[in-house]
Amino acid sequence: MVSSSITECNIQQMKLRIGDPELKVFTYSNIDSTNEECKRILQKGTHKCLVIADTQSNGRGRAGKSFFSPYGGLYFSIAFPTVDAESVLTCRVGVETVEAIQEACGIRCGIKWVNDLFYKGKKVCGILAEQYNNNTIVGIGINLMPVSIPTELSNIIGFLDFPDIRDQLVENITARILHSSRNRLEIIECYRRYSMIIGKQIICHQGDNSFSALAVGINEFGALEILGPNGRETLSFGEVSIKTNQDNY
Ligand code: BTN
């Protein structure tokens, strides 16, 4: 079903502002997952697309988790033909999204490695980047407006609480990702600056294994450097959570 909130005229203006005539834009009031819809569209021969939805019935997060996607949020995916040769795409998307939110709302979110954006101690944005054939699909979910959420998520999920920035954010983030000109080291430098975990006590989760550590840095490829039970280590996959009672974004 086509989205009620974005008109055909908006789409044309959006494409102009994003500045990519090849980009095809699709909007839905509901879809299972904008990342999955990108895959279906790519299969039909489109090379570059932006899929935006008001809600998702099967929103996907990293590590097979689901992503709660009610009305009031912004859910979109950008698919483009590239493979992540620099292996810093995840950091790039995090950095560009932090800066786009700052431009639109005047607030600075923090990045929790790998790529969750936090504001006032709660997660306001999740990012799922996938390789699909020779394409990259970047899916971004932003909790824009406060909505009622399941009790078990109420300590975890936060909201930006800015009502009128939906189109601006989609355009700005998409343009930044498609036309990003900063090199790997410039992106990593920003990523370190926006990181909310460096210097914090964290719990690292890798598969079934969890352990406490101190987050000491982000290396030049976006991996997390920790001081853990086995001394200094570099983690290139997994999830972390921040131990409570420390200052947060
Ligand atoms: C995470 O928090 O683990 C990543 C969440 C990514 C959610 C976005 S919403 C748009 C796109 N479609 C999906 O199904 N997932 C991503």
**String of DSSP letters for 113-153:** TTTEEEETTEEEEEEEEEEETTEEEEEEEE--S-----GGG
Summarize pLDDT for 190-244 with one digit per residue, the tens. 999 999 999 999 999 988 889 999 999 999 999 999 999 999 999 998 899 998 7
Tell me the H-state helices in 159-224: 166-178, 184-194
Mean pLDDT over the full length of the chain:
92
Residue nearest to atom 11 of ligand 1 (CA): 139
* CA–centroid distance, residue 142 to ligand 1 (Å): 9
138: how many CB neighbours lie within 10 A of its CB?
Answer: 25
Amino acid letter at 14? Answer: M
Site to probe by mutation for ligand 1, drawn from 65, 140, 144, 166 as the one with most ligand atoms within 8 Å of Cβ, is 140
pTM attached to this predicted model: 0.93
Please say if the pLDDT value at position 8 is more than 80: no
Q: Find the residues whose C-beta lies inside 6 A of ligand 1.
A: 33-35, 56, 59-62, 65, 67, 75, 77, 116, 126-128, 139-141
pLDDT of residue 9: 73
Residue 214: which of 245, 242, 248 has the closest Cα?
242
- Cβ atoms 118, 156 nearer than 8 A: no
Q: How many CA atoms lie within 13 A of 185 on its CB side?
A: 0
Site to probe by mutation for ligand 1, drawn from 49, 71, 93, 128 as the one with most ligand atoms within 8 Å of Cβ, is 128
Q: Is 124 exposed, middle or buried (0-12, 13-18, 19+ CB in 10 A)?
A: buried
* CA–centroid distance, residue 173 to ligand 1 (Å): 15
**Confidence grade of residue 1 (pLDDT, cut at 50, 70, 90):** very low
More confident residue, 10 or 140: 140
What percentage of the chain exceeds 90 in pLDDT? 77
Summarize pLDDT for 47-93 with one digit per residue, the tens. 999 999 999 999 999 988 999 999 999 999 999 998 766 668 999 99
Please say if the pLDDT value at position 14 is more than 80: yes
